[in-house]
Amino acid sequence: MKYRSTSAILLFAVAFAGAGSVARDPFLRSVGHLMTADDGLEPADAAIATAEAGSAGELELADLVDRHLVGRVAVLIPDPSPGSLELRRRGIVTEDPRGTLTALGVRPDTIALIPANEGGTSDGAEALVAWCQAERIRRLIVVTNADHVRRLRRVLSRSFEPGGTRVRVHSVQYGAFRASDWWQNRRTLRSGIIELQKLLLDYVRHPL
């Protein structure tokens, strides 16, 4: 079955990512492209950046507005940490997606901040479905980190009802992860292995 072969590829990738053989590079490059599969772009009612996309996601949203592909944008916001709450209590705001987007030229009245509980993939998907239903969004672009595209697309395909909101998942342009050499940098190697493990688990738990 297709899911078994995909699971096997992912399992080998996790095992080989830290190896030193030159022969592994073409294989890991192919795995990188598997993880970063992009749905492409088309005009949509709105675009939303996932919590993990960070500033790269906000830049992508602003660019989509500038290209007239969307007229509304939103950012998934996880629950604040105790440290963030204390900074706010003292009048210090360290993260302000609305302010960043406004500074990038996005009209304030077209920006929404969507609470996403802990900010994980499942929490984010539930928040997206609820927001799209409330706002009657028919076509949506979801912006996330390149290594998260494949798994997020699988989760969203299970979360949205068939025939409802049309969702396209798009990777950020200014992210650190690149399919061509992700295993050659410690930071992207670590994030890539973690994402591969999560993706493998998703295939095991949801084969179809």
pLDDT at 21: 56
**Alpha carbon separation from 28 to 15, 107, 112, 153, 189 (Å, rounded):** 11, 41, 38, 21, 11
* Range list for CATH 3.40.50 in the chain: 46-171
Cα–Cα distance, 53 to 185 (Å, whole number): 19
Give yes or no for a contact between 35 and 149, defined as CB atoms under 8 angstroms apart: yes
For 37-83, what is each residue's pLDDT tens digit? 889 899 999 999 999 999 999 999 999 999 999 999 999 999 888 98
pLDDT (0 to 100) of residue 4: 52
Rounded to 10 degrees, the C-alpha dihedral 78/84/88/94 comes to: -90
**3-state SS class at 161:** coil
Q: What is the pLDDT of residues 81-118, one digit of tens each?
A: 898 888 888 988 777 899 999 999 999 999 999 999 88
- pLDDT for residue 139: 97
Whether the predicted pLDDT of 1 surpasses 90: no
| pLDDT higher than 50, residue 32 | yes
Residue-wise pLDDT tens digits, 120-172: 899 999 999 999 999 999 999 999 999 999 999 999 999 999 888 999 999 99
Give the span between the Cα atoms of 3 and 145, in whole angstroms.
Answer: 23
| pLDDT value for 22 | 55
CATH placement of domain 46-171: 3.40.50
Q: Which amino acid is at 118?
A: E
Integer Cα distance of 91 and 106 in angstroms: 25
Return phi, psi of residue 144, to 5°. -150, 175
Determine the Cα–Cα distance for residues 191 and 182; give it in Å rounded to an integer: 9
For residue 84, the one-letter residue type is S
- Residue 23 — very low, low, confident or very high, per pLDDT cuts 50/70/90? low
Cα–Cα distance, 45 to 30 (Å, whole number): 33
pTM of the predicted model as reported, rounded to 2 decimal places: 0.85
Q: What are the angstrom distances between the C-alpha of 114 and each of 32, 68, 123, 135?
A: 30, 22, 11, 12
